[in-house]
């Protein structure tokens, strides 16, 4: 099977490419010891366009390894610089769907906390604002459904901190389903129930807004069929 057959491409032109990342894949490599999704996308581009040399692919944001959904890359250095700036300045709208343990109340609201990474555990924790290395984290949420001890929720982060959604939700007593690292009681294979549902950005050259949406993965439709039923 070719790379063209194995990728779900959500958008592609000469400047950027967006794909639907499955859970279980790291976005990019750190030490070169694990296959990563950026390499899959590079192989796809190399095969599709018969490129003889190295393929440029700019990493402008990341999704955690167990998270699925919309993942955007740049295909030129100019596009990479402009898209990275949009992410840094908070000009990109990100919507996530998650399944949380427990019934979230109130059903809509905003979480504003301060986060820091604990180097001894690799976990991100909520701390006081004056704590060394603390960074502000803010997200809006709205519950979509509740059933059998689980809440389907829509999340709109306003900041892009490492493990932000996972840490903030666990801190209020509602860890993401399957996120054992942050206290979930459940196992969900190589995934956690966090999905990058949509991404809206300005095209780096044409400056027009583009919204991309990723369908829910099959493991969600199997595990959470009743919760996700239209109401």
Q: What is the pLDDT of residues 32-61, one digit of tens each?
A: 566 789 999 999 999 998 888 889 999 999
Q: Which domains are present in the chain? A: 3-223 (3.30.2350.10)
Q: Which residue, chain included where needed, has tokens 């504003």? A: 112
The active-site residue, picked from 20, 38, 64, 179, is 64
Q: What is the pLDDT of residues 142-158, one digit of tens each?
A: 999 999 999 999 999 99
pLDDT at 3 over 70: no
Q: What is the pLDDT of residues 81-110, one digit of tens each?
A: 999 999 999 999 999 999 999 999 999 999
Mean pLDDT in the chain? Answer: 93
Q: Strands 16-21 and 58-59, how do they pair?
A: unpaired
Active site (annotated) includes residue 64: yes
């Amino acid at each position: 099977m070719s790379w063209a057959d194995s990728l779900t491409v959500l958008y592609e032109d000469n400047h950027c490419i967006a794909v639907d990342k499955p859970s279980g894949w790291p976005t990019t490599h750190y030490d070169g010891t694990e296959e990563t999704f950026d390499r899959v996308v590079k192989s796809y581009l190399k095969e599709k366009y018969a490129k003889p040399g190295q393929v440029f692919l700019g990493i402008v944001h990341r999704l955690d390894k167990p998270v699925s959904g919309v993942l955007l890359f740049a295909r030129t250095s100019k596009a990479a610089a402009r898209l990275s700036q949009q992410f840094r300045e908070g000009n990109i709208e990100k919507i996530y769907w998650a399944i949380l343990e427990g019934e979230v109340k109130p059903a809509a609201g905003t979480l504003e906390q301060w986060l820091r990474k604990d180097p001894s555990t690799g976990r991100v924790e909520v701390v006081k604002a004056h704590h060394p290395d603390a960074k502000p984290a803010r997200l809006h949420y709205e519950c979509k459904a509740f059933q059998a001890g689980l809440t389907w929720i829509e999340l709109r982060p306003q900041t892009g901190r490492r493990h932000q959604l996972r840490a903030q939700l666990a801190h209020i007593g509602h860890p993401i389903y399957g996120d054992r690292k942050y206290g979930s009681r459940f196992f969900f294979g190589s995934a956690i129930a966090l999905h990058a549902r949509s991404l809206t950005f300005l095209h780096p050259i044409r400056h027009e807004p583009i919204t991309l949406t990723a369908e829910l993965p099959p493991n969600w439709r199997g595990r959470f069929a009743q919760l996700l039923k239209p109401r």
